[in-house]
A and B are shown apart, each in its own frame.
Chain A
């Protein structure tokens, strides 16, 4: 066991896999020599060499296409897109070419690729660095979507993603890279893709969330506790495929739920979570499932980011609304 922040845990996952499997290769803009703009790949080129870990020209579509081509030849590429907003340049390769490779070829080829990208607000970054674009991915058949919220999960989920024989969009929240340290095993372990986790047990209301909002929701649960309200917090960890069983089990206990996401209200994963709750647990609900989300604007200018992002106060208010329904 070692104390690691999420960035270090992510780096450790890649180190473990680069060491274990010679087909794993890692590339992107500035990931080699300097180890990435967040140093998430620091030291890996030095340890594994330039044929395993390398810099590319500045072109996201080609990074995606390189990964797809390499994937057909037995490699397991980890392709980094420097910031989330730049995935638009690579959407065809990520969401069309990689996501459909197995299907189009009837299983002859597959795309065992991890597309890593940082995202997420609260760091006063420049335009198009922090948008929550997971909703685009979950609406794309053929690609899995993973968003860890802590160092332990990040390492275990990334190892699972690298070993998965289908493409995974792995989104790393900028505000969590250095937020805190956790005990993380130094050897290899996996956290299964498609499994949510109850991070705080409660009996009055279920808060379903992911990414940075897991932490905001736990803080809100602490606030609610002061008023005698017991909130259960579920960290989805994987948005596609969604672990509806864990959600339903919680709602059967609490009978009330809200979904908290950083993405705008009509994007992200909240609407799909609520639709599935309606299909599977409506008879257990005492109130409608509400959403706490960013407003449906373009991602805010840095100066207004804190007011825009879902807050503890907005989560508490939403919980009170479902409790008083």
Chain B
């Protein structure tokens, strides 16, 4: 019989058991806050028209966010999670995908859905609490925004497994925030993807706060990107205020996924300039200094400077897009408001493929 050792095995290298594992991470950056290319090797291959399109989408999204907040105050929109500050992560990560790729969003991630093909008026209907908001058009590869933080991470994992089983070269991407990285489903999803080597991208938009709770209270881990280690998948931290870094990282992760290389966790460092939701008061937990510091990294300013230097963008362009966005929002909110009202009978009929007798009976009370 072998003797059971009471001594810890001696390790020749690596972290010792009493040490907290830590390695420095440097976020991937392509553009400096002044709009200078600091990492030409990671510069995504984009034509001038594509670069302008990206700026167009970011300005449009910022304007839509401003308008949505006003529409919310007027009672014309319901639940709304502001996005200003996160345009680079949202617009950039979607732009890096192709139409066939599938998006499993959290509740803040409406811009990705809209740029992937969900009509804007349906986004407004979702906000207003109308079922048609979730009736994703055929061929638009997205799920509805997920309210249960973490659930979407597992859906993306299952969808990616579907792609793998069918031999399709597609990837699924799913989004959560820094708070979401504390959920069990966050770990379970990444771990399954590691185990089955699935084509999926876990994109964490770390904006420093989960409602009022700062990132430091979520975890003692040095970064969220480190958490990939526990699942045996690739992990990367990026500057989430740099749209070109976002595109570069997502394109790389998607390419690896499509070619059988498995999953990637991307942690994007970003900031939301606005409150968590319309019911939130940031003055209770954030300082003006902090907000000012982050405003210097505004993704629109940074990318705008880059484009201006290339002669591809001007203030007039920004104003033109703002005007276009305002008009689009006005038109789409009207369309949302004119959508046929829902009925209880309609809800009942949408529960199952075939409405069972007890529900047929209950329907009679509402007709």
Interface residue ranges, A against B (CB under 8 Å) = 25, 51, 56-57, 59, 61-62, 64-75, 92-93, 96-97, 102-110, 141-142, 164-166, 194, 241-242, 244-245
Please state if A105 and B154 are interface contacts (CB–CB under 8 Å): no
Please state if B356 and A165 are interface contacts (CB–CB under 8 Å): no
Of all chain B residues, which has the CB nearest A107?
B350
Please state if A57 and B191 are interface contacts (CB–CB under 8 Å): yes
Please state if A57 and B195 are interface contacts (CB–CB under 8 Å): yes
Please state if B161 and A66 are interface contacts (CB–CB under 8 Å): yes
Please state if A65 and B188 are interface contacts (CB–CB under 8 Å): yes
- Tell which of B148, B162, B166 has the most Cβ of chain A within 10 Å: B162
Determine the distance from Cα of A68 to Cα of B192 in the docked complex, in whole angstroms. 14
Interface residues of B in 76-130 (CB under 8 A from A): 104
Determine the distance from Cα of A70 to Cα of B158 in the docked complex, in whole angstroms. 5
Determine the distance from Cα of A173 to Cα of B151 in the docked complex, in whole angstroms. 29
Determine the distance from Cα of A68 to Cα of B159 in the docked complex, in whole angstroms. 8
Please state if A65 and B155 are interface contacts (CB–CB under 8 Å): yes
In the assembled complex, B358 has its CB within 8 A of some CB on chain A: yes
Instruction: Report A-chain residues with C-beta under 8 Å of the C-beta of B131.
Output: 103-104, 106
Please state if B353 and A72 are interface contacts (CB–CB under 8 Å): no
Min CB–CB distance B159 → chain A (angstroms): 4
Of all chain A residues, which has the CB nearest B188?
A62
Please state if B185 and A61 are interface contacts (CB–CB under 8 Å): yes
Determine the distance from Cα of A103 to Cα of B160 in the docked complex, in whole angstroms. 23
Assess A105 versus B358: contact at CB under 8 Å? Given A65-B189, A69-B155, A69-B156. Answer: no
Please state if A103 and B351 are interface contacts (CB–CB under 8 Å): yes
Instruction: Report A-chain residues with C-beta under 8 Å of the C-beta of B148.
Output: 92, 96-97
Assess A142 versus B156: contact at CB under 8 Å? Given A57-B191, A105-B135. Answer: no
Please state if A65 and B151 are interface contacts (CB–CB under 8 Å): yes
In the assembled complex, B347 has its CB within 8 A of some CB on chain A: yes
Please state if B351 and A104 are interface contacts (CB–CB under 8 Å): no
Main SS at interface, chain B: helix
Min CB–CB distance A178 → chain B (angstroms): 33
Please state if B155 and A68 are interface contacts (CB–CB under 8 Å): yes
Choose among B156, B166, B350 the residue that contacts A102 (Cβ–Cβ < 8 A): B350
Please state if B161 and A70 are interface contacts (CB–CB under 8 Å): yes
Choose among A51, A59, A92 the residue that contacts B165 (Cβ–Cβ < 8 A): A51
Instruction: Report B-chain residues with C-beta under 8 Å of the C-beta of A68.
Output: 154-155, 158
Please state if B195 and A66 are interface contacts (CB–CB under 8 Å): no
Please state if A62 and B191 are interface contacts (CB–CB under 8 Å): yes
Of all chain A residues, which has the CB nearest B190?
A62
Determine the distance from Cα of A69 to Cα of B191 in the docked complex, in whole angstroms. 16
Determine the distance from Cα of A102 to Cα of B185 in the docked complex, in whole angstroms. 22
Please state if A106 and B132 are interface contacts (CB–CB under 8 Å): yes
In the assembled complex, B144 has its CB within 8 A of some CB on chain A: yes
Please state if B151 and A241 are interface contacts (CB–CB under 8 Å): no
Assess A244 versus B151: contact at CB under 8 Å? Given A73-B159, A75-B162. Answer: no
Can you add 18 more A-B contacts, CB < 8 Å, to A59-B191, A105-B134?
A: A25-B165, A57-B195, A61-B154, A62-B192, A65-B154, A66-B157, A69-B104, A69-B155, A69-B157, A69-B159, A69-B160, A70-B158, A74-B162, A102-B351, A108-B135, A108-B138, A164-B353, A241-B358
Choose among B132, B162, B350 the residue that contacts A70 (Cβ–Cβ < 8 A): B162
Please state if A97 and B155 are interface contacts (CB–CB under 8 Å): yes
Assess A72 versus B352: contact at CB under 8 Å? Given A57-B191, A59-B188. Answer: no
In the assembled complex, B136 has its CB within 8 A of some CB on chain A: yes
Of all chain B residues, which has the CB nearest A105?
B134
Instruction: Report B-chain residues with C-beta under 8 Å of the C-beta of A56.
Output: 192, 195
Choose among A96, A102, A142, A244 the residue that contacts B358 (Cβ–Cβ < 8 A): A244
Min CB–CB distance B202 → chain A (angstroms): 13
